[in-house]
Every structure is written in C-alpha cells, then in structure tokens.
Structure 1
Amino acid sequence: MADPQAPVSTRVLTVPNVLSALRLVGVPVFLWAIVTEHDALALVLLMASGLTDYLDGKIARAYGLESRLGQLLDPVADRLYIASTLVGLAWRDILPWWVVVVLFAREAFMAVVVLVAQRHGWVGLPVHFAGKAATFNLLYAFPLLLLADGDSTLARIAEPVGWGFAWWGIVLYWLSGVLYAMQLRRLLAHDRAVAA
C-alpha cells in the first residue's frame, strides 16, 4: 500500500495540471451542450475529457510531474464531468434517475471516508486502479449512451455497448469506494498500533 503522504511536487504550472484545468473549464460548456441537445459538441467534449484524463495521469507518472494541485484537480474534474453527464442524460431521459442516485450515493460515501481521513491528518488516499477503471468505464459509457439516443443503426449498436461500460463503471465505482474505506481502516489500525 502506498503512503498517502508520499512527497509530491508543489509545482503549479505543469502539463498534467493544464490538462486537468482545461477539463474543468469544459464542464459548464459540456453541461450547456448536453441540456440544449447540441449532441455533437457534447460528444466531442466528453471524448476530449476522457482523453485528457488518461493523458494527465500518464504524463504525470512518466515524467515525475505528480503534484498536490494535480491530486486535487484530477478527481474534481472527473467528478464534475460524471455529475454533469449524469444530470444531463437523466434530464433528457436517456439515463434512468436511479443510476444518478446510485452514483451520487457513492460520492456521499466517499465524502465521509475523505472527512475521516482528513480528521486523522491525511490529505488524501492514494488512487486505486479500480477508481481509475471506474472513471474510464463511465467516461466511455456516457458518450455511447448519448449516441444511443435515436433510431439509427449506430444508436442500436451504441446502446448495449454503452450499458456494458455503464454497468462495469457503476460496479467498479462502488468497489473502489469500498477499497478506499478498507485502506483507511488499515491506516487507522496502523496509527493505533504505532501509538500503542
């Protein structure tokens, strides 16, 4: 298990941070596009978000550019894209509202885990592969489900593939939340053992 307080850079102006910031700037534009049914723009923004999410992490790890700001910006951008997409797709009746509730419930669960971690002096917990895989699946599911809104052949192909990614994303999203809680529990037990 990685140390949640492992040293990272305090640099602000790095390529990964710029990519994360661009993703954040794109969120309101994306939400406007999806609600007003400018689907081509919404799809381009979603695909760009998925690509930059992949690239910022890969570049940060490959070139030693991991930073405190990046650790904050990346998950915030992920969550804002997921939240805005969920609301937009549910608003348009492309996605059932129960999916929104299930994924927002996971966010509430994680908020509690993060608060407990912060109360014990941890700024954050190391990112799990399951969490990144969940985000990857959801960011692929959403544009496919948006493409599935229609009667074309492309829509009929996109729908089952989109729902496949969505189900994997939902399961992995919750699995990663449970893994974070277990990780926090181990850290708390370790601290109690050291204190004793």
Structure 2
Amino acid sequence: MGHDTAAPETIGDRVWTVPNIISMFRLVLIPVFAVLIFTERDIAAIVVLVVAGFTDWVDGVIARAFNQISRLGQLLDPAADRLYILVTLLGLAWREFVPWWLVVVIVGRDLVLLGLMPALRRHGYGPLPVHLAGKAGTFALMYAFPLLLLGSLEGTAGELAWVFGWACALWGIGLYWFAAFVYTEQTWRIVRGAHSDSSVRAAEVS
C-alpha cells in the first residue's frame, strides 16, 4: 500500500529492492497462512496475518524513505493484500464463521476493478493510484479477520472480538466499495477525456 503514494517521477523500474523483497516474502507466506486457517490453527494463522500486516507497513516506510518505490512494488503490494483478504474470507466462510454473501460482496468489488483495466490499458494507463478510502478499507478488513477468528473463543473475550470484528468488516466493506466508485469515476473521466480529444482532433483535420 505504501508504494503507491509517491509522485510518478519517483517511480522506478528496479526489481530487487528491499520493499519488493519484503512484498515477495509476504506472498510466500500466503500458502502457509492458507494451510493454517483451513486446518484451524487459528493462533498461528493470526500470527502470520499480523506479520504480513507489519511487513506491509514496513515496506511502505522503506520505499518512501529510501526512494525505492517501483512499478513492480505497486503491483506486488496490493496483490498481496487482496490475496490475504481472499484466503481469509474463504477460510472463514468454509468454517462457517462468516456468511458466503460476505465473500461475494468483497470479491465482487475486486472484479469490478478488474473490469476497469481493459479500458485503462486502451488509453495507455496502468492501475490507478490507490485511493485513501481503499487503503483504509483494506486496513479495516485486515483488522477484522483476526478479530473474527478470535470470536471463536469462549466467554466475554470471544464475544467482544466477534462484535468488533464485524464492526471493522462492515466499515471495511463500505470503504472498499466507496473506493471502487472513485476508481470507476476516474476511469470514466479518462475514457471521456480521450474521446473528447479525439473529437477535437477530428474537427481540426476536417
């Protein structure tokens, strides 16, 4: 998430930067996390999720502090976030901790963004810069999932974790979809602007 906040002129093409290596490490942990959550080793799964969240923050700090923001990092970082969210959602739904409609709502948002990519590529754009609402939504969801896992505990602690977990999840969903509307509006403006430019050029030629 931190990779996307720099001005375009500071973005490089380097692959083997410290932030990129950290992001790759996060990606490597995803299969480990998947095994842990599907085999109900919840404490270990939560530890991995916390490590992933911490390294996500660290790679953003390093990228900005040492000017190591890269195009690869802009792809790896959100990809890792989305994969962690997807794996966690599937694990929680499989174990009946959350309803399947929650999976549909969150995955549906990413499918909407995926559907915007062909239009952006046709006009020479890559992925749009991450919006603050999207970052906040991801942050809320990454907090929600460990709390929902802890909701399986007996007693007051489990009940509180369950309530706060759902609160974070609902806020995350709202922010997630708000960001999707922002990205859709930005894409529409890009496409409309390109069509307007084409019309002006055609008028000048005629």
Bin the TM-score by the shorter chain: over 0.9
Residue 134 of structure 1, CA deviation: 0.8
Partner residue in 1 for 2:8: 6
Match among 64, 67, 72 for residue 64 of structure 1: 67
| CA offset digits 1:5-54 (Å, max 9, x no partner) | 93411111112111111110011100100000111110001111111222
CA–CA separation in structure 2 for the residues paired with 1:10 and 1:133: 27
- Matched residue SS, 2:8: coil
| Alignment pair present for 1:175 and 2:178 | yes
Map 1:76-115 → 2, pairs under 5 A: 76-115=79-118
Residue 56 of structure 1, CA deviation: 1.9
| CA offset digits 1:119-177 (Å, max 9, x no partner) | 22212111111111111000000000000113133211211111111001111111111
Q: Which runs of 5+ in 1 are unaligned?
A: none
CA–CA separation in structure 2 for the residues paired with 1:139 and 1:120: 33
CA–CA separation in structure 1 for the residues paired with 2:135 and 2:57: 9
Match among 66, 74, 78 for residue 77 of structure 2: 74
Give the share of equivalent positions with the same residue, in percent: 49
Partner residue in 1 for 2:187: 184
| Alignment pair present for 1:53 and 2:60 | no
Amino acid at match of 1:93: E
Whether the 8 Å contact between 1:134 and 1:168 is mirrored in structure 2 is yes
| CA offset digits 1:82-119 (Å, max 9, x no partner) | 10000001111111111001111111111101222122
TM-score by length of 1: 0.93
Whether the 8 Å contact between 1:10 and 1:68 is mirrored in structure 2 is yes
Amino acid at match of 2:8: A
Partner residue in 1 for 2:148: 145
Q: Which structure has the greater CA radius of gyration? A: 2
Partner residue in 2 for 1:135: 138
Amino acid at match of 2:93: A
Q: Which runs of 5+ in 2 are unaligned?
A: 201-206
- Residues matched between the structures, number: 194
Amino acid at match of 2:179: S
Map 1:14-29 → 2, pairs under 5 A: 14-29=17-32
CA–CA separation in structure 2 for the residues paired with 1:151 and 1:106: 33
Partner residue in 1 for 2:163: 160
Query: What CA RMSD, in Å, does the superposition of the two structures yield over aligned residues?
Result: 1.8
